[in-house]
Chains A and B, each alone.
Chain A
Amino acid sequence: MPKIVLLATDVALLVLLAGLAAYVWHVRRTPGLRATWRSVLRDAPAMSALVLLSVCLLIALLDSLHFRPLLPQAAGAANDAAAAYSTRSYSVLDQLLKRQLEGTEKTYSAPLAYRQFTKDSIEIDGRAARDYPRLVHGGAHLTDPERQWLADLVLRSAAGLAGGLLAGLSMALAVVALRARMLREDFSAAWRAVWRRETEVQWRAILFTAILLLGAFGWIAALWSVYHVLGTDRTGNDVLFQAIKSLRTAVVIGSLATLATLPFAIVFGILAGYFKGWVDDLIQYLYTVLSSIPSVLLIAACVLIIQVTIDKYPNLYETGLERADLRLLLLCVVLGVTGWATLCRLLRAETLKLTELDYVQAARAFGVSDLGIMQRHVLPNVMHVVLIVAVLDFSSLVLYEAVLSYVGVGVDPTTPSYGSMFNLARTEMSRDPTVWWNLVAAFGFMLTLVLSANLFAGAVREAFDPRARAFRPRRDQRQPGGARRHGSRETAIAPAGGAP
């Protein structure tokens, strides 16, 4: 039985997911919110983005379940000796991709290569010579690589791609069949509805993305078991594996740092807007002081101090992983503590507006306590601002992490992250011939994550902020079900939450 390790960010991420699930449950029960979210579900780019985001989240989750495997008993040990655990923690993702984790090479190798990128002294027919040595793992199954390589590559790609697409198609058929069953339609009618985008949820976009994604998965899986699909880095680690591991760091920073801003922003923003007077002055002063300090410098200062503190109390953590994780968590906290000013300002303005409304005046006249009014009448009606800012912040924080890591105040150097990959890429690009795959891997993964977060955030903003809808570049006006769309827009304009 392996020993389960709970890292601080693991717990935080799990709590966050639980909170997300609770929010979904809450939305399902609240008619106003449900109507607003439905307009997000009808947005095709947002739904494609949601599929990608969920996959990223799933990978991050798999990479957040850590354990220390049980070591086999030493040969001479007594039978009742205490079980010994490995000093390294592994995640479920590490276990799933064990071959990629352990299949390291000596140094750089190009994507899908079977020979090393640099020359080395090797023995050929008993004589020492300098040549490109064969890789230990990449393409090791080929006996005559010069002739077999291309055929092998094409064959495996075709098989993987076909398998993935087939799996995707059958999944799509299953979803449509299930839909037909639930709506008691016949299959062809359900298929037509999905194809013509007449469904409540944009199933066509979801299924299309899923099929493409599964195709890509199949392709990569078929090649990855025998090649390094995106090559290896300087120390011979698989680049694709590193890129996938970095997803967790990006997701953790994006979500936890956003989460950390919320308590300050919500409490201070509502207090300032509700009480006005000296409370307002004080809070405004606080956030002006905070936002007047250049953010990179403020974060740098805080991170330097964190470093000192971590070094001062070495018994806070047991393994190197825990140390790196502690730093990641503290970085999120720092980003949160330094970044609440913008949201606080918006919430203050919104609360100022709300407190002038009749229902708040009425509540006051009825003698509802200040805390009660803020909780029951103000908070639910500013939540849409919180939601919009939170989803918008996610992508900017993921981008910010790369900058911070470059400046040297980001995550621990041992934590895989896109920032450190970019950092390596900087020197690699000036090599000749160029080592480009680290950069391309980091770029591709980061773009996918940030772009889908941006698209999703755009749809959420459009749904929750009635003003934003006018700014949509209109192209899809021939959308069927237009009347229904209009109906939902009317309800969406009503403030989220059911207070008034």
Chain B
Amino acid sequence: MLSYILRRALYGVLILIGVNLFTFVLFFTVNTPDDMARLNIGGKRVTQEAIEKWKVERGYDKPLLYNARDDGLRALSNTIFFERSVQLFALRFGASDSGRDIGYEIRQRIGPSLAVALPTFALGVMATVCAALLMVFFRATYLDFWGVTLAVVMMSISSLFYIIVGQWTFSTLLRLVPISGFAGGWDLFKFLALPVVIGVVARLGYDALLYRTMFLEESGKDYVRTARAKGLSEQAVLFRHVLRNAALPILTSTVAVLPLLFLGSLIMESFFGIPGLGSYTIDAINAQDFAVVRAMVFLGSALYIVGLVLTDISYTVADPRIRLA
């Protein structure tokens, strides 16, 4: 078990190296620092001096891989590759192109991101499981049919529409909650209520259909037939047998996305003015701040890999049939 986890973790590191090399190629060779400077300074006629100055200010004036002017290890470490890519493994993100410390920003913003993402996720899973169970309990009736129809319609609506209409109805029209913003203490609930509810509703259609399929697949199995044959009530079959077995894939799939919650939601945060990592990323994309985008790519894939390893562990914990060698 331990050796298996170790092996998976090592594989994760290997993948992180791949991600790192990939982003390095994407950001520094396909697209040279000169191009970045030109895009950032903007305007039609950018002088070479301005570009050089921009690069020196941000430390992009070094050679990419090998610094011939230094000797020894410095020849390798005093390069863009070492300073910008290798340092990421130590979670040293460096300064953004606008000169702020990325690591500090991330630490500041991870809290608000989680404050939105965690309740959205937890309530979302609960609501989805309830909706799916309801449809399965009343399967092959009008309730099931219209439930599925409603779910298909709901998943065909853009999440942007939910947000815009939700904000308009509850903030502009009914004035129940503030339209956007973020504050600590008890005000937090007021600010978070709407984004959380909208986040749950926007995903409900798609996820409910998915879970309904999982439950139905499970309820077609032999042990369910046995349970029915021995005279168990439908409730007992559904809650004691089907739910418990179908919870396995649900559990593992939720474990996989748990770490990604740290990244927050791009759209929610920017619509509701929550100072989390999602809105940080969007601002960086709009300001074409490549340093921040690179840092977030690295952070995102690192969290994804943590999720992968956690999934493997949760399989063995939750399902006694699975033994990992």
Q: Which residues of A contact B213 (CB under 8 A)?
A: 471
B44 to chain A, nearest CB (A): 10
Q: Determine if A304 is an interface residue (Cβ-Cβ < 8 Å).
A: yes
Residue A478 lies at the interface, judged by CB distance under 8 Å to chain B: no
- Residues of A within 8 Å of B140, CB to CB, are 473-475
What separation, in Å, do the CA atoms of A296 and B220 have in the docked complex?
38
- Give Cα A269–Cα B249 distance, bound, in whole angstroms: 24
Given A291, A402, A454, which contacts B160 in the complex, CB threshold below 8 Å?
A402
Chain A residues near B294 (CB, 8 Å)?
Answer: 301
B285 touches A409 (CB 8 A): yes
Return chain B residues, CB-CB under 8 Å to A296.
266, 281
> Assuming the A-B contacts A293-B297, A297-B297, are A422 and B161 also in contact, with contact meaning beta carbons closer than 8 angstroms in the complex?
yes
**Docked complex Cα distance between A450 and B157 (Å):** 8
Q: CB of B15 within 8 A of chain A?
A: yes
* Min distance, Cβ B111 to any Cβ of chain A, angstroms: 20
| A264 on interface, CB distance cutoff 8 Å | no
Contact with B along A406-421 (1 / 0, CB 8 A): 1111000000001100
Residues of chain A within 8 A of B155, CB atoms compared: 454
375-424 of chain A: CB within 8 A of chain B? 395, 399, 402-403, 406-409, 418-419, 422
Contact in complex: B158, A301 (CB < 8 Å): no
Smallest CB–CB gap between A46 and chain B, Å?
A: 12
| B186 interface contact, C-beta 8 A | no
Residues facing A in B187-236 (CB within 8 A) are 212-213, 216-217, 220
CA–CA, A486 and B220, complex, Å: 20
Q: For the complex, give the distance between the alpha carbons of A107 and B147 in Å.
A: 42
Q: Does B145 contact A (CB under 8 A)?
A: yes
**How does the 8 Å CB contact mask read for B279-317 relative to A, with 1 for contact and 0 for none?**
001100110101001101100110011001000000000
Instruction: Tell me the minimal C-beta distance from B258 to chain A in angstroms.
Output: 15
Q: Tell which of B49-57, B71-79, B88-96, B164-172 binds the partner.
A: B164-172
Q: By the criterion CB–CB under 8 Å, are B267 and A403 in contact?
A: yes
B27: CB under 8 A from chain A? yes
Q: Which residues of B contact A471 (CB under 8 A)?
A: 212-213, 216-217
Q: Is A439 an interface residue (CB 8 A)?
A: yes
Instruction: Given the known inter-chain contacts A293-B19, A307-B39, please indicate yes or no for A301 contacting B152, CB distance below 8 A.
Output: no
| Contact between B293 and A301, CB atoms less than 8 A apart | yes
User: What is the bound-complex CA distance between A291 and B307, given in angstroms?
Assistant: 12
Asked if A285 and B18 sit within 8 Å, CB to CB, the answer is yes
Once bound together, how far apart are the Cα atoms of A443 and B18, in whole Å? 40
Complex Cα distance, B293 from A302, in Å, reads 11
Contact B157 A447 (CB under 8 A): yes
Known: A294-B300, A454-B156, A475-B145. A301 touches B267 (CB 8 A): no
Contacts of A458 in B (CB 8 A): 152
8 Å CB interface, B85-110 against A: none
User: Is the CB–CB distance between B285 and A470 below 8 Å?
Assistant: no
Contact partners of B168 in chain A: CB under 8 A: 429-430, 434
- How close is A316's CB to chain B, nearest CB, in angstroms? 16
In the bound complex, residues from chain A placing their C-beta under 8 Å from that of B300 are 292-294, 297
Report A333 CB to chain B, min CB distance, Å.
14
Size of interface on A: residues with Cβ below 8 Å to B: 52
Contacts of A475 in B (CB 8 A): 140, 142, 145
Query: For B161, what are the chain A residues with a Cβ–Cβ distance below 8 Å?
Result: 422, 439, 442-443, 446
Report if A5 contacts B (CB, 8 A): no
Give the dominant DSSP class at B's interface: helix
Closest CB in chain A relative to B225 CB, distance in Å: 14
Q: 1/0 per residue A285-303: CB within 8 Å of B?
A: 1001101111011101110
Determine if A186 is an interface residue (Cβ-Cβ < 8 Å): no
How far apart sit A426 and B270, CA to CA, in the bound complex (Å)?
12
Are the C-beta atoms of A447 and B167 separated by less than 8 Å?
A: no
A200 to B184 CA separation, bound complex (whole angstroms): 63
The answer to whether B160 touches A406, judged by C-beta atoms less than 8 angstroms apart, is: yes
Q: Decide: B297 and A294 in contact? CB cutoff 8 A.
A: yes
Interface positions, chain A 413-467, Cβ under 8 Å from B, are 418-419, 422, 425-426, 429-430, 434, 439, 442-443, 446-447, 450-451, 454-455, 458, 467
- Report if A147 contacts B (CB, 8 A): no
Is the CB–CB distance between A399 and B158 below 8 Å? yes
Cα–Cα, bound, A446→B304 (Å): 31
**Residues A451 and B156 in contact in the complex (CB < 8 Å), given A294-B263, A301-B297:** yes
Complex Cα gap A309–B172 (Å): 42
Of all chain B residues, the one with the shortest Cβ separation from A395 is B156
The residue on B at minimum CB distance from A306 is B31
B144 proximal to A (CB < 8 A): yes
Q: Which single residue of chain B is at the shortest CB-CB distance from A302?
A: B26
Nearest residue (CB) in B for A303 is: B285
Interface membership of B159, Cβ < 8 A: yes
User: Within the assembled complex, what's the spacing in Å between the Cα atoms of A373 and B305?
Assistant: 35
Interface string of B15-26 (1 = CB under 8 A from A): 100110011001
Complex alpha-carbon distance, A375 and B153, angstroms: 39
Taking CB atoms and an 8 Å cut-off, the chain A residues in 253-301 that contact chain B are 285, 288-289, 291-294, 296-298, 300-301
Give CA–CA (A403, B157) in the complex, Å. Answer: 12
Contact between chains at A304 and B152 (CB < 8 Å): no
Q: Is A490 located at the chain interface by the 8 A CB criterion?
A: no
- 469-491 of chain A: CB within 8 A of chain B: 470-471, 473-475
Set A301, A312, A434: member contacting B26, Cβ < 8 A: A301
Q: Tell me if B30 counts as interface (CB < 8 A to partner A).
A: yes
Shortest C-beta distance, A302 to chain B (Å), equals 7
Asked if B288 and A304 make an inter-chain contact with CB atoms under 8 angstroms apart, the answer reads yes
User: Quick check: is A308 within 8 A (CB to CB) of the other chain?
Assistant: yes
Taken together as a complex, chains A and B put the C-alpha atoms of A304 and B296 apart, in Å, by 15
Q: Tell whether A305 is near chain B: CB-to-CB under 8 Å.
A: yes
Contacts A308-B39, A429-B168 known; list 8 others, CB within 8 Å.
A285-B15, A289-B18, A298-B297, A304-B39, A403-B158, A422-B164, A450-B158, A454-B156
CB<8 Å pairs between A and B, sample of 16: A289-B15, A291-B304, A293-B19, A294-B304, A301-B290, A304-B39, A305-B26, A408-B282, A419-B160, A446-B158, A450-B156, A450-B157, A451-B152, A471-B212, A471-B217, A475-B140
A residues with a Cβ closer than 8 A to B are 285, 288-289, 291-294, 296-298, 300-302, 304-305, 307-309, 311-312, 395, 399, 402-403, 406-409, 418-419, 422, 425-426, 429-430, 434, 439, 442-443, 446-447, 450-451, 454-455, 458, 467, 470-471, 473-475
The 8 A-B pairs at the shortest CB distance, nearest first, are namely A294-B300, A292-B301, A289-B18, A451-B156, A450-B156, A292-B304, A473-B145, A473-B144
Instruction: Mark B residues whose CB is within 8 Å of A.
Output: 14-15, 18-19, 22-23, 26-27, 30-31, 35-36, 38-39, 135, 139-140, 142, 144-145, 147-148, 152-153, 155-161, 164-165, 167-168, 172, 179, 212-213, 216-217, 220, 260, 263, 266-267, 271, 281-282, 285-286, 288, 290, 293-294, 296-297, 300-301, 304-305, 308
